[in-house]
Amino acid sequence: MSPDLGKLDDLLAELKPYNAALVAVSKTRPSTDIDVVFKHGQLDFGENYVREMAEKYSELPPSIRWHFIGHLQSNKVKLIAPFVHLIHGVDSEALVSEISKQAIKLKRNIDLLLQVYIASEETKFGLSREEAVRFGTDLINTPMQGVRIRGLMGMASLSENEQLVRSEFQSLKRTFDTISSNINKENQDNFKILSMGMSGDYKIALDEGSTMVRIGSAIFGDRS
Ligand SMILES: *Cc1c(COP(=O)(O)O)cnc(C)c1O
């Protein structure tokens, strides 16, 4: 199946009034499909697997901004550190330390989002809301060299229950606002990204304050 560029245009128009950014989630899709979407003007792409992302990076134009949205293991950070634009799924101090170490080596800054566990399901990764507030506030007010905490990311339950999904997004937004009000004034401009919403729930996420949605199947078709 080829990407649906009409759907992409509709999505961009829908995001505009919210001032929200689109990350086109391209995991499992061939580079040829990504190139079609890139040539249409989309710059931000999201991937879940380190090797897959590194391979696509080597095949596609360097102006693509690669977002890592999967669960990142510390021993794989070095494979994406030279080129990654934003790492969405950071959920431990050990991982932040490793990213900092690689960033220093490369003499670059790497932007991160802390992943917060908001779903009622058991399988999702992330920090609890309390941990996110404590850890986020500390890391922003006393930064580690080479890394910048730009915001939060979360995934709601995969559920038809709209009220449940909405309340999970609301709790992530409240966590975001708490950290925002805790941190020093000079850091507030850096902490602006709330990454929430996928193909099935992005409309609810936008209503609840998302500034960045991660959408795959609505653009590229169902993953087989
Ligand atoms: C796969 C994935 C998405 C996109 O899911 P779709 O339902 O295809 O839009 C978004 N975020 C994360 C973390 C994902 O793993």
Which atom of ligand 1 is least distant from the CA of 198? 9
Which atom of ligand 1 is least distant from the CA of 218? 9
Would you state the pLDDT for residue 201?
Answer: 97
Instruction: Using the predicted structure, report yes or no on whether residue 49 has a pLDDT greater than 70.
Output: yes
Nearest CA to ligand 1 atom 10: 214
Nearest-CA neighbor of 66 among 84, 78, 52? 84
Please report which helix (H) or strand (E) contains residue 87, including its range.
strand 86-90
Burial of 201 (0-12, 13-18, 19+ CB in 10 A): buried
Q: How many CB atoms lie within 10 A of CB 31?
A: 15
Would you state the pLDDT for residue 156?
Answer: 95
pLDDT digits (tens, 9 = 90+) for 63-79: 999 999 999 999 999 99
Nearest CA to ligand 1 atom 13: 69
Percent of the chain at pLDDT > 90 equals 93
Ligand 1 pocket test: which of 7, 11, 23, 25 has the largest number of ligand atoms within 8 Å of its C-beta? 25
Instruction: Using the predicted structure, report yes or no on whether residue 186 has a pLDDT greater than 90.
Output: no
Percent of the chain at pLDDT > 70 equals 98
pLDDT digits (tens, 9 = 90+) for 92-149: 999 999 999 999 999 999 999 999 999 887 666 899 999 999 999 999 999 999 999 9
Rounded to 10 degrees, what is the CA torsion of 12, 16, 19, 21? Answer: 0
Would you state the pLDDT for residue 1?
Answer: 73
